[in-house]
Structure 1
Amino acid sequence: MNKYPFIYTFFLIVLVSSCSNTRFLSEGDLLYTGATVKVEGKEVSKKERKALKSKLQELVRPKPNAKILGLRPKLYIYNIAGETKKDKGFRYWLKNKVGEPPVLYSQVDLEYNKSVLQNFSENNGYFNAKTSADSTRRGKKATAEYTVKPARQYKINEVKFPTDSSVLATAVRKTSKRSLLKKDQAFNLDVIKEERARIDGRLKEKGFFYFNPDYLLVQVDSTVADHQVDLIVKIKEATPKMAETPYQINKIIVYPNYSIGVDSLIDNKNSIVKYNDITIIDSTKMFKPRVFDRTLNFSKGDLYNRTDHNLSLNRLVNLGTFKFVKNQFKVSDTIGNYLDAYYFLTPLPKKSLRLELLAKTNSANYTGTELNLNWSNRNAIGGAELLTISAFGGLEVQVSGQNNGFNVYRFGSEANLIWPRLVAPFRFHSPSGFVPKTKLTLGYEYQNRTKLYSLQTFKGSFGYLWKESERKEHLLNLTEITYASPRNVTALYLDQIQANQSLQKVIDKQLIFGPTYSYTYTNTVQKRKKNTFYYKGTVDLAGNITGLATGADTKKGNTINIFNVPFSQFIKIENDFRHYYKLGPDSQIASRIIVGAGYAYGNSTEMPFIKQFFIGGTNSLRAFRARSIGPGTFDGSTTATNTFLPDQSGDIKLELNTEYRAKIYGLVKGALFIDAGNIWLLNENADKPGAKFSKKFISELAVGAGVGLRFDFSFLVLRTDLAFPIRKPYLSEGNRWVLDKVDFGSGSWRKENLIFNLAIGYPF
């Protein structure tokens, strides 16, 4: 009996918890343990019966107490917590937050559930379905059983739209080409409702402001053929005249300084400004009139349409200047069918000061804290411009890694000015609800890597940001300038340079300037989709025009300096593609592919260090130390001392990640993952044998696997990962797979191979 103690213990727990839950019930109460739905009958196919059963099962109420491995732990916790005298404390929290009260059979309404199943069947074309309900009692537990016998499903024979010549009927008839109701489609009441909403949406685009779906009637004629129906779309006779009429825009009135409860609608001569088709009423003259001319999509005389209505509201919200945005349309006192559009805008405080304390992690396995002081002016020049000036300081330490103790201290300042338009010699109008923006940035950062060196970096950029839609975003920096200069280089680091000359480029002065462009597409906000995607493509063109203009060619001895620093000239392209496959409401498979390459030419023989690619770490290959893999088959640990492991960089990058994510319990989520990838150099490097990219790159991929926990506190996600390598590219060919050497029982193996990552947020 002692041979399998775990098995006996498990079944004992199952038996005890199963019995103990019912002993807490009051006399006469029965624990409701769930319902079964059977779909019977030979008039529908097996596939139809299975699909109908799945939908019907979800409709039955109430749901029984949650089960895990056959147990009801939340109910058991509720029971053992006992009575609580106060609405607070540990016992109250345990009982009401962690626990779950018993679902009793007395809460089950068999007749109500029976009618719900019957109605659902009929609403999906099974007009002659028969439904019955019963229950079964076993001891102090009870279940419910429902049986549905559907007849043959009705299909659509023909869809008929209004035929009269009225303005409204003609408009309804013109929407028929995109009707959701199709011949031979199964009758479905929900689709009929969606069709009414679709027609209403199309009419709203044609000026029918006062129309709504309730003015449409879809009659069903089931006498036309065997198990077929005609659907007849009609306009109700009680439809008011206003709903039958398309309207045009007349006046457009904006109150940009509206306050609830304050008389801010006084129209005096000093407060009224007319700009093109817009009347602006604001005695403070807080905003320049052109702000609203650029933001509002309506013009006088336009036919009302819902698209411009919603776009105007979205653009006002996206200015980031107003706390509340309210819109109202009223019938104009002008002769004819006209609407006056009113916009009531409540501004946010113009200036604000915010202090933030942040916890952060990065791809180099550094974890730390940062203090930010931010000052904002939301209407800096009167055109809804956003001016922000920030000062920051922080500390980062490496929790796991050979560079533990080489802490990073950083401080600096940054100023941003954002115009809610494109500051350009041409007029740009975005058809989306997002306001195109121009951004100017100036910044300075001082970074001290203790025991190694310090870097001071000056940055500046000027560019445009615009969104086609909520899915597509563009960022074009006409110029992005970076100047980096080293200071306080230590003897330890200089000694390392003697052994590894590639470390010199880390502390070389760098001047990088040129345009950058990135395009982002994502549909991950669509929570109901099973497959969602994210893609970001980036192009960085540094020093290209200057290099061509000056004829710079370092290989021929013609190196051009600016302020005694050779400028960098290169092309860099990076693609980040992610796919999310939803397995269920609380589980998914997330995958990522990163492909990037950089090519230095003209005034440069190699890519600047800060623009190269790195791999390994908390958001990359989690089974390897941060920035320790590659390039190629080169083993960077051979150049390290006992105290310092230099970062490895490359010109080409390939990374692949797949992660299974699932909810374990409450706010705790688990993950199983596998990561693969490497970086390479484009050219041979005598100090790094095996680093050059070749056709054997697939055989040079590093691979790691692991498990993780994610604690989702809603305001942040704390992530822990435990990973180990299963393929090491720096080993000799034929010996790179090390899966057969995995030995969790060996202390020396664990010390050498197990990597613990602590991070904030998901890796991708």
Structure 2
Amino acid sequence: MKNNFYIYFKYLFAFGLASISLSCSNTRFLKEGQMLYTGAEVRIDNDTLSKTEKKDLKTALEANLTPKPNSTFLGLRPKLYFYNIAKEPKKDKGFNYWLKYKMGEKPVLLSDVDRKFNKDIIENYSENKGYFNARATYDTVSKNKKAKVIYTLRPGAKYLISDVKFQKDSSLINQEIQKLAGKTLLRKGNPFDLDVIKSERERIDNGLKEKGFYYFSGDNIIVQADSTVSKNHKVELNVKLKDNTPDLATQQFSIDKVIVFPNYNIKDVRDGKYKIPMDKDSLSKYAVGDMYVIDPEHKFKPKIFDRALYFEQGDLYNRADHNLTLNRLINLGVFKFVKNEFIVSDSLQNKFDAYYLLTPRQFQSLRLEALGRTNSANYIGSEVNLNWTHRNIFRGAEQLKASIYGAFDVQMGGPKDANNIIRTGANVQLSFPRIVAPFRFNTSSAYVPRTNINLGFEFQNRTQLYTLKNFNASFGYIWKENARKEHDLKIFDATFVSPTNITPKYEEMMENNVYLRRVVEKQLIFGPTYSFTYTNTMLPKTNTIYYKGTLDLAGNLTGLVTGANVEKGKQKSIFGVPFSQYFKLENDFRFYHKFGENTSLATRLIAGFAYPYGNSNDIPFSKQFFVGGSNSIRAFRARTLGPGSYDPRNQNATFFFDQSGDVKLEMNAEYRANLYKFLNAAVFVDAGNIWLVNEDIERPGAKFSKEFMNEIAVGAGVGLRLDFSILVLRLDLAMPLRVPYYEKNDRWTFDKINFGDSNWRKDNLILNIAIGYPF
């Protein structure tokens, strides 16, 4: 350990010297008289503001100053250094061009800083936040060819709102504005804030759009501020319509006709060959209620538009139904472009026609996918998928998807007697853009609910051991309440696994091993499953979350009706196959925190529990939990970890990678940083394990007990991610820090770390190559 410490100290000392050298070296490239700009600082001279107010104001002001200094990493400016050392390229390509202008960053000089402009920004921003008498000065501090600018702000007292008045008159639009006044964002006693005033104008605009004022704009509202009517730094606000507001913006419009063109070709419009027919009486149409569907070729059933469109003749225009309709048309999945226009049909009655111009996608598509892969279990392989899709199979935007695939995985390295895996299969899915049920299901969501029917078959051959035939079928619904909440209910989800061609070699292996025998048992699993997903990760927030909870209830009703009880010798079968009965719950919770534009922290907690009862002693192997691998605890190879403190190195090498459990606990934390455009780096820590509910004599230490915290595995590592938008290639290098199957008092491995030992590196450094982020 002393030798290791000495080596690490030398590396750290060398890194420190290199950092100082690199930090100083950038200034030697400057010309005479040039100063490297290192940033700006805002100081606030005011005794009446609290520390929090000063901090918030300071942060906001510094964020608005320009230009930004050269980017830093650990106090250094590597991008600037690359720019400085690279020669000026003769062409806009080649290594020098890439190093100087792609990897590098042009120096930001003091001469690039318009200090008076920044001073004006500080004063204007402060006034917009209620500091009407704000004054700022600036000073420049320089040393060793580096310079920073210090701005000092004397904001004075903050003005508060003394009263808010909504000017009244007898017009229809003013009556609607008065109805909105009760929920104003402008509150007496609050600070004057221009951003809040802008939000108030948007709120009024949105409210009027819901009441038929289609042509109204938030710019038609003015908020007058008067600081002369009150004393003690108070301001009175008066909300009113601008005098020059167009008459059309004050009119309330309703829907006359709703006209749908489901075969609209946007190219024809560009060429001037196609125009919207204005004479509705001459339309070649078939109607659904008050809706006109212009579809001479009858490619679509009119009912799909009746379900998707929310406007009817006579309805007052409102933006909610407008956006809802557009979103539902897009979510049908059969239209490439969705365009909407409102054209005045009766100016005296304030009516307009709603036109929906829909450009369909190609109804049928055929796609061939081929991929190569590798995983942390030393398998390399390939997969080929042939996918066919019909997006309008029954003329009601129903989607039929069919696919066939073939795959093989060959183990390179690792155990000498490892076996290869060959898989072939097919899958068919029919999806209806509605809830197909004997009951009525109404939703005002912008997302179209779907009924899905799935049928699948897979043939799996583990060479020299056995083959499995897997049949599955499901019927269920998927619907979203909104962009954040999604429900997935499978009323019926069935799987039948049938083994064939079990080799004598495998029979001999499983003769005295219950665990191996269970892998090739016939399995019949059926019952409902439900999952709920909540996420707000699509929002531009500092803190976002993702949660998915899944409940699987297999054979529960059947077990109850038949009185199945395997412990009392009353195991029941269907077609000669005992059906599985269990309860399974899994929770996946993720939390994301953004430190800045280019850095973030991602964390995940997975907790799962499966309990067999009634007709089953064990959870089916395919429904159990697994840990390890590129998307789990990356310091351990896929499916090698657990259960509990069981040591998988003592078992047959062929099944070294197939550990499973009934209880799962996993925790992950990953710090992510952008290094350069598409290149990202990460530092991560993973922890967790799996356990069994019941004792397994073949795997001592596998049962879940009060000692479970002492059986947690821990791994850590670093990673690189090449994010090309459409594809993220991930490389993670991890090593174990705590191994649960070591002796109880010797599970932490810090004292065993030895990067200089090739054998240690071979056994402990795990490289994971994967597509996409782990979570």
Q: 1:681 aligns with which of 669, 683, 692?
A: 692
2:632 to 620, 626, 637: 620
Amino acid at match of 2:236: D
Counterpart selection for 1:647 from 642, 650, 658: 658
Q: Does 1:384 align with 2:408?
A: no
**1:18 corresponds to which of 15, 27, 33:** 27
Code of the aligned partner of 2:100? K
User: Out of 583, 587, 596, which is 1:575 matched to?
Assistant: 587
Structure 1 704/136 Cα, relative in aligned 2: closer, same or farther at 3 Å? closer
Given the alignment, which residue of 540, 545, 567 partners 2:552? 540
Aligned CA-pair RMSD: 2.8
Alignment match of 2:203 (pick from 177, 198, 201): 198
- The answer on 1:374 being equivalent to 2:409 is no
Given candidates 245, 248, 257, the residue that maps to 2:251 is 245
**Does residue 706 of structure 1 match 2:711?**
no
Aligned with 1:444 (options 443, 446, 457): 457
In structure 1, the partner of 2:7 is none
Indicate the residue corresponding to 2:4 in structure 1: none
1:40-65 deviation per Cα after TM superposition (whole angstroms, max 9, x unaligned) = 24454454333322222222222233
Cα drift, residue 274 of structure 1:
0.4
Q: Counterpart in 1 of 2:618?
A: 606
| Residue equivalent to 2:645 | 633
Deviation string for 1:562-605 (max 9, x for gaps)? 33322222222111111112222222222222122222233322
1:419 has 2:432 as partner: yes
Q: Secondary structure at the match of 1:685?
A: coil
AA paired with 1:532? T
Deviations 1:8-30, CA, capped at 9 Å, x for gaps: 555444433331x214xxx7766
SS in 2 for 1:175: helix
State the shift of 1:312 in Å: 0.4
Aligned-partner SS, 1:291 = helix
Q: Aligned in 2, Cα 1:244/1:398: closer, same or farther, shift over 3 Å?
A: farther
Matched, 1:65 2:70: yes
1:172 is displaced (CA, Å) by 1.4
Residues 665-685 of structure 1: per-residue CA shift (max 9 Å, x gap): 443333333222222222222
Aligned residue identity for 2:482: S
Asked if 2 retains the 8 angstrom alpha-carbon contact of 1:400 and 1:755, the reply is no
Give the equivalent residue in structure 2 for 1:89.
94
- Does residue 1:48 correspond to 2:76, yes or no? no
Aligned to 1:511: 524
Over 3 Å counting, the alpha-carbon distance change for 1:206 and 1:269 in structure 2 is closer
Q: What is the CA deviation profile of residues 341-390 of structure 1, one whole-angstrom value per residue up to 9, with x for unaligned ones?
A: 11000111111111223355679675543222211111111001111111
SS at match of 2:30: helix
Q: Write the distance in 2 (CA, Å) between the matches of 1:751 and 1:84.
A: 43
Change in 2 beyond 3 A, CA 1:739/1:94: closer
- Structure 1 stretches lacking a partner, 5+ long: none
- Compute the displacement of 1:435 (Å): 0.4
SS at structure 1 position matched to 2:227:
strand
Partner of 1:587: 599
In 1, are the aligned partners of 2:376 and 2:637 still within 8 Å (CA)?
no
Aligned to 2:120: 115
Partners of 2:683 and 2:719 within 8 A in 1: yes
Distance 1:597 1:761 in 2: 27
Q: Letter of the aligned partner of 1:16 in structure 2?
A: S
Residue 74 (structure 1) aligned to one of 62, 68, 79: 79
| C-alpha contact 2:23 2:77 (8 A) present in aligned 1 | no
The DSSP-based 3-state class of the residue aligned with 2:451 is strand
Aligned equivalent of 1:256, options 253, 262, 267: 262
Which amino acid in structure 1 is aligned with residue 614 of structure 2?
G
Contact 2:391/2:397 (<8 A) preserved? yes
2:765 to 748, 754, 762: 754
The equivalent of 2:227 in structure 1 is 222
Q: 1:531 to 1:141 in 2, by over 3 A?
A: closer
Matched residue type, 1:381: F
Separation (CA, whole Å) in 1 of partners of 2:81 and 2:661: 56
1:432 pairs with one of 431, 439, 445: 445
Q: How many residues align?
A: 757
1:393 aligned to 2:406? Answer: yes
In the alignment, residue 151 of structure 2 is paired with which amino acid?
Y
- Partner of 1:682, secondary structure, is coil
Mark the CA change 1:397 to 1:173 in structure 2 (over 3 Å): closer, same or farther: farther
> How far did residue 701 of structure 1 move?
2.4
Q: Which moved more, 1:457-466 or 1:580-589?
A: 580-589
Cα deviation digits, residues 498-523 of structure 1 (max 9, x gap): 34221111111222222211111111
- The alpha-carbon distance between structure 1 residues 533 and 9, as it changes in their structure 2 partners (threshold 3 A), is closer
Name the CA distance, whole Å, in 2 between partners of 1:442 and 1:507: 22
Once the two structures are superposed, what CA deviation does each residue of 1:507-543 show, in whole Å capped at 9, x if it has no partner? 11222222211111111111x3222111111111222
Deviation at 1:434, TM superposition (A): 0.4
3-state SS of paired residue (2:533): strand
CA distance in 2, matches of 1:219, 1:354: 60
Q: Is the 8 A contact 2:26 2:80 kept in 1?
A: no
Counterpart of 1:178?
Answer: 183
SS of equivalent to 2:266: coil
User: Counterpart of 1:15 in structure 2: which amino acid?
Assistant: C
Is the 8 Å Cα contact of residues 221 and 231 (structure 1) preserved in structure 2? yes
Is 2:491 the counterpart of 1:478?
Answer: yes
1:298 match: secondary structure: coil
- Counterpart CA distance in 1 for 2:772 and 2:372 is 11
Pairwise CA distance, 1:712: 2.3
Equivalence for 2:6: none
**Most deviating of 651-660 and 221-230:** 651-660
Give, in whole Å, the separation in 2 of the partners of 1:5 and 1:479: 64
Moved more, 246-255 or 130-139: 130-139
Letter in 2 for 1:345: L
Identity %: 54
Alignment check: 8 A CA contact 2:26 2:84 kept:
no
Cα 1:404/1:709, change in 2 over 3 Å: farther
Worse-superposed segment, 63-72 or 453-462: 63-72
Q: Is the 8 A contact 1:162 1:172 kept in 2?
A: no
Q: Quick check: 1:478–1:515 contact (8 Å CA) kept in 2?
A: yes
Would the alpha carbon gap of residues 287 and 695 (structure 1) be closer, same or farther in structure 2, given more than 3 Å must change? same
Distance in 1 between residues matched to 2:202 and 2:417, nearest whole Å: 61
Question: Alpha carbons of 1:272 and 1:404: their partners in 2 closer, same or farther (altered >3 Å)?
Answer: farther
| Native 8 Å contact 2:625 2:664 kept in 1 | yes
- Return the alpha-carbon distance in structure 2 between the equivalents of residues 400 and 209 of structure 1: 68
Q: TM-score when scaled to structure 1?
A: 0.92
Alignment of 1:139-154 (within 5 A): 143-154=148-159
User: Helix, strand or coil: the match of 1:77?
Assistant: helix
Deviation, 1:747, is: 4.5
> CA 1:606 to 1:137, structure 2 compared with 1: closer, same or farther past 3 Å?
closer
Is contact 1:30-1:142 (8 Å) kept? yes
Q: For 1:271, what is the secondary structure of its paired residue?
A: coil
CA contact (8 A) 2:377 2:657 kept: no
What is the deviation of 1:708? 2.6
Measure how far apart 1:109 and its partner are: 2.7
Provide the residue aligned with 1:719 in structure 2. Answer: 730
Equivalent position SS for 1:202: helix
The Cα of 1:756 is off from its aligned counterpart by: 2.8
Q: Is the 8 A contact 1:658 1:673 kept in 2?
A: yes
**1:416 and 1:157 mapped to 2: Cα distance?**
63
